Amino acid sequence: MLNNFVMPDLYPAAPEIFLLLMSFLVLFVDLAFGATQRWMAAMLTAVTLMGCAAITLAGVDGQTVLTFSGMFVDDLLSDFLKLLTYLAVIMMLIYSRRYLADRGLDKGEFYVLVLYATLGMMVMISAANLLTMYLGLELMSLSLYGLVAIDRDSPRATEAAMKYFVLGALASGLLLYGMSMIYGATGSLEIGGVAQALYHEQADKSVLVFGLAFLVAGVAFKLGLVPFHMWIPDVYHGAPTAVTMFIGSAPKLAAFAMALRLLVYALMGLAVEWQKMLLIMAVLSIGLGNLAAIAQTNIKRMLAYSAISHMGYMALGMMSGLVGGELDPFTAVNAYSSALYYTVAYVMMSLGAFGMVLLLSRAGYEAENLEDFKGLNQRSPWFAAMMLIIMFSMAGIPFFVGFFAKFAVLLAAIKAGYTTVAVIAVMFSLIGAFYYLRVVKLMYFDAPVDAAPIKAGLDLRVLLSLNGLAVAAFGLFPDALMTVCTTALIRSL
């Protein structure tokens, strides 16, 4: 057996290997110096992510490389998504540094779990095999369960973690069952092998469609689409705000990669079937997310329902790749690149929104109610302007990145013949503008409940400013990001 062993090419997986080795170092350093030198684990985590970014950038050549017996792929799309993941996680760490220190949560286990969750996302992004995808998903999910419960003295966080764990385990079971049925029908676990079996009509389609239903359910849970959205409001509300920011940003990129590789790359032959499923879930998510968010007084719950609606718009782009059941390459690339563009734009906006919540929070006080934003313009006109940009962008008001993200997705839906669905999405977007503009009204037209000056480190202030300005800049120059998204997809198909 050993004589037949072929050493895999390890270089495509170099960022993952580096991160795994550095996570052991973070554990050791925290064990040795954690009680007195809390900053060391945070610094090493940031260095690890920057090292991963450097390794990923060094390997970008536009070529698609398969390794580990075809289980792991390194292509331009995976490189692009990994770089965005590193950036999102680094931003989360900078945003949450003071918040964690004030609550005694800046422990080594927090940073190790963040690294392991990031490793799971990286594996999901580069998965070329159903088992690899599942392993990456479980590594990310188990780490996130632990992060939600990291504040052991908070009953709310513990309850949220239990709900997330139980529902997440159910969704993982559905996904694994769907994968097993697809394997049984096609005889392959490789994404390329499944696609080939479908193309040559070598699989039992009735079994495949049954497995597809379970697969879509698992993907929808990770994206937070209705009716698999139940965990999002409670987890967003119950988790420490730093963890909520993490869950609401980087994992969305991995979930997009999961949906693209499973549905588009592997199961394009069943696109007509999963298109219908995504259509129903997209409309329900946009509707329920926007309507439920109006009733919220807690901004974390409001942003949770907002996330459901935003993922509905992303699903609208994902399902618009086929026109009347026929594949048009130009329409398909345009649709999937619009979905990727929307995901990237949402992650950018989500980081900024939760960054504002962290900015207003302080030791012993969680600024998570809408009333905490009253009179923010009187306390800090600059940060009120940054929050205004982010809220306008989330509402889809020109000319911010959120507007062009919605425009691209709706245009793709109209080109695919879903004009009625696009009109419904626009109507719900107008309804959703209410709760975003309500935050702006509170900041500019209400008297502040708390007149205390905003105290925050220079790093948080600079990052939040750059975040808000980036939302505005990518809205003024949307072609730059859209071109990168389109190129990454074309070179990886």
Average pLDDT in the 271-283 region? 90
Cα–Cα dist 449/125, whole Å? 44
Q: What percent of the chain has pLDDT over 90?
A: 60
Q: What pLDDT, on the 0 to 100 scale, is given for residue 1? A: 47
C-beta separation of 401 from 478 below 8 A: yes
473 pLDDT exceeds 60? Answer: yes
Average pLDDT in the 205-234 region? 90
190 pLDDT exceeds 80? Answer: yes
The pLDDT tens digits of the residues spanning 107-163 come to 888 999 999 999 999 999 999 999 999 999 999 999 999 999 998 888 899 999 999
Give the residue with greater pLDDT, 43 vs 62.
43
Q: Where are the alpha helices (DSSP H) in 59-154?
A: 76-102, 108-125, 130-148
5 pLDDT exceeds 70? Answer: no
> Which single residue is written with the structure tokens 């980087």?
250
Average pLDDT in the 19-28 region? 92
The pLDDT tens digits of the residues spanning 395-419 come to 999 889 999 999 999 999 998 889 9
> Which single residue is written with the structure tokens 């709760």?
435
Domain residue ranges of the chain, discontinuous segments joined by +: 9-490
Average pLDDT in the 66-72 region? 88
155 Cβ contact list (under 8 Å, min separation 6):
none
267 pLDDT exceeds 70? Answer: yes
| Residue-averaged pLDDT of the chain | 89
Confidence of residue 248 (pLDDT cuts 50, 70, 90): very high
Cα–Cα dist 396/343, whole Å? 14
User: What is each CA distance from 139 to 227, 239, 280, 385, in whole angstroms?
Assistant: 24, 19, 30, 38
C-beta separation of 316 from 343 below 8 A: no
Q: What pLDDT, on the 0 to 100 scale, is given for residue 327? A: 66
Q: What pLDDT, on the 0 to 100 scale, is given for residue 78? A: 93
Average pLDDT in the 471-481 region? 91
Cα–Cα dist 179/189, whole Å? 8
Tokens for 435, please give them.
């709760």
Confidence of residue 320 (pLDDT cuts 50, 70, 90): confident
Q: What percent of the chain has pLDDT over 70?
A: 97
Q: What pLDDT, on the 0 to 100 scale, is given for residue 324? A: 64
Tokens for 301, please give them.
């719950």
The pLDDT tens digits of the residues spanning 336-376 come to 999 999 999 999 999 999 999 999 888 777 888 888 888 88
35 pLDDT exceeds 80? Answer: no
- Classify residue 200 as exposed, middle or buried by CB count within 10 Å of its CB (0-12, 13-18, 19+): exposed
Supply the DSSP string of 277-339, one letter for each residue.
HHHHHHHHHHHHHHHHHHT--BHHHHHHHHHHHHHHHHHHHHTTSEETTEE-HHHHHHHHHHH
Kindly report the pTM of this predicted structure: 0.94
Supply the DSSP string of 426-491, one letter for each residue.
HHHHHHHHHHHHHHHHHHHHS--S--PPP---HHHHHHHHHHHHHHHHHHHSHHHHHHHHHHHHHT
